[in-house]
């Protein structure tokens, strides 16, 4: 059976080269006589894998020495509680910009532990833009300031970071992780579920500045304390070993292509191809203001629900799967993460042109 072009928002497609290498090593990882799936996380062999994965994160993202790299579990959703339990421990306040469903969930979870303040929101226009910020509305003594860097559902992206001064900036980067260079030093903490750009579901990457560790509330469960994982090098309990291994392979693939600068150029080329078509199309149109468009997630509509459904069905039959949009936006959404080849977007655009000619 031929492989399809998978435009899912997550779990997403993985690089074919990575899947083939993992298949080759499935039964015998580098002469160990066992699969990574079944080896001890305390073994020397796996220790080399997890340390190699951390080294690649540091190299690709240019992580400063005063930051810890952690491989955790529970997805980005667990970070919604973990962040306030560990960071909302000074004034008990934190600021949030609501740019979509996940930013809102992070806000609601934090509100259980302290004073969570919404400084801006784009809910008024179905999160189709990144709101302008007024620094005078920021909480001066906030323990942290939270944003969702790329909004998977709504297809928006932060291109200019908030200036938060001494207040640590915290960002959910789940759907833009390693899609382009990012200045880690501008953040107190970054977190990301891996299942969009880095690995299968199961591991969560956290990059945290060391001075923010060790201040968790007394009620914080052991497994939700960053110090627990920092002191044990992400090996306090059994980590998602195989997912970390795949993440290492994916990062080796990214490095082989030229790192994050080359990945950004590749992603910009794919996004431009799709956005240019949407801008000229008489049938399809994008739903996001141009200046805030995501490189990773591209929502679009025809304006007719029946025609949208027809497009999704015919696209799937033609090998373009998981294009149905989120229920809050409707229409379609093409998630074109790192692993989506340029030819996948080229063929999608060709299919859209054909559909338009037949249905406009």
Residue whose tokens read 């994965």: 53
Say if CB 235 and CB 36 are below 8 A apart.
Answer: no
H/E element, 206? strand 204-209
Return the structure tokens found at 197.
Answer: 């750009």
Instruction: Assess whether 102 carries a catalytic annotation.
Output: yes
**Sheet containing 297-301: order of strands:** 285-286, 297-301, 332-335
Q: How far apart are CA 149 and CA 160, in angstroms?
A: 10
Q: Which residues contact 290 (CB under 8 A, 6 or more apart)?
A: 275
How far CA 174 is from CA of 67, 138, 194, 197, in Å, comes to 18, 25, 7, 8
Which backbone phi and psi does 33 adopt, to 5 degrees?
80, 15
H/E element, 292? none
Q: How far apart are CA 268 and CA 294, in angstroms?
A: 10
Q: CB 116: neighbour CB atoms within 10 A?
A: 22
In terms of DSSP H, where are the helices of 177-297? Answer: 226-231, 241-257, 259-280
In terms of DSSP H, where are the helices of 88-178? Answer: 101-110
Instruction: Assess whether 172 carries a catalytic annotation.
Output: yes
Q: Is 211 helix (H, G, I), strand (E, B) or coil?
A: helix
Instruction: Assess whether 158 carries a catalytic annotation.
Output: no
DSSP string for residues in 291-319:
GGB-SSEEEEE-S-HHHHHHHHHHHHHTT
- Residue in 143, 172, 292, 308 annotated catalytic: 172
Cis, bond preceding 141 (omega within 30 deg of 0): no
Q: How far apart are CA 122 and CA 100, in angstroms?
A: 8
Element counts in the chain: helices (H) and strands (E): 9, 14
- Residue in 93, 196, 270, 324 annotated catalytic: 196
Q: How far apart are CA 49 and CA 335, in angstroms?
A: 29
- Residue in 93, 102, 143, 248 annotated catalytic: 102
Residue whose tokens read 């992070």: 106
Residues designated as active site: 102, 172, 196
């Amino acid at each position: 059976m031929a492989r399809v072009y998978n435009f899912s928002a997550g779990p997403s497609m993985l690089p074919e080269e990575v899947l083939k290498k993992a298949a080759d090593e499935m039964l015998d990882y580098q002469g160990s006589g066992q699969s990574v799936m079944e080896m001890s996380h305390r073994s020397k062999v796996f220790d080399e894998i997890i340390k190699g994965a951390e080294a690649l994160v540091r190299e690709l993202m240019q992580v400063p020495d005063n930051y810890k790299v952690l491989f955790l579990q529970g997805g980005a959703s667990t970070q919604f509680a973990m962040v306030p339990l560990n960071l909302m421990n000074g004034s008990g306040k934190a600021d949030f910009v609501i740019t979509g469903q996940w930013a809102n969930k992070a806000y609601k979870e934090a509100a259980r532990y302290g004073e969570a303040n919404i400084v801006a929101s784009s809910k008024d226009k179905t999160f189709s833009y990144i709101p302008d910020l007024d620094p005078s509305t920021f909480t001066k003594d906030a323990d942290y300031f939270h944003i969702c860097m790329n909004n998977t559902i709504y297809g928006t992206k932060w291109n200019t970071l908030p200036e938060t001064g001494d207040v640590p900036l915290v960002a959910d980067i789940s759907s833009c992780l390693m899609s382009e260079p990012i200045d880690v030093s501008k953040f107190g903490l970054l977190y990301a579920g891996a299942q969009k750009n880095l690995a299968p579901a199961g591991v969560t990457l956290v990059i945290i500045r060391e001075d923010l560790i060790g201040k968790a509330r007394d009620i914080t469960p052991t497994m939700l304390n960053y110090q627990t994982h920092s002191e044990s090098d992400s090996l306090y309990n059994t980590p998602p070993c195989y997912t970390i291994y795949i993440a290492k392979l994916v990062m080796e693939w990214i490095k082989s292509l030229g790192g994050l600068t080359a990945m950004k150029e590749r992603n910009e080329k794919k996004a431009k191809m799709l956005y240019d078509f949407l801008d000229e199309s008489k049938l399809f149109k994008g739903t996001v203001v141009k200046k805030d468009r995501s490189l990773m997630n591209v929502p679009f509509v025809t304006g007719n629900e029946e025609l949208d459904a027809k497009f999704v069905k015919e696209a799937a039959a033609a090998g373009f799967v998981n294009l149905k949009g989120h229920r809050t936006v409707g229409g379609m959404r093409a998630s074109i993460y790192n692993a989506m080849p340029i030819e996948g977007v080229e063929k999608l655009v060709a299919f859209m042109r054909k559909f338009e000619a037949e249905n406009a």
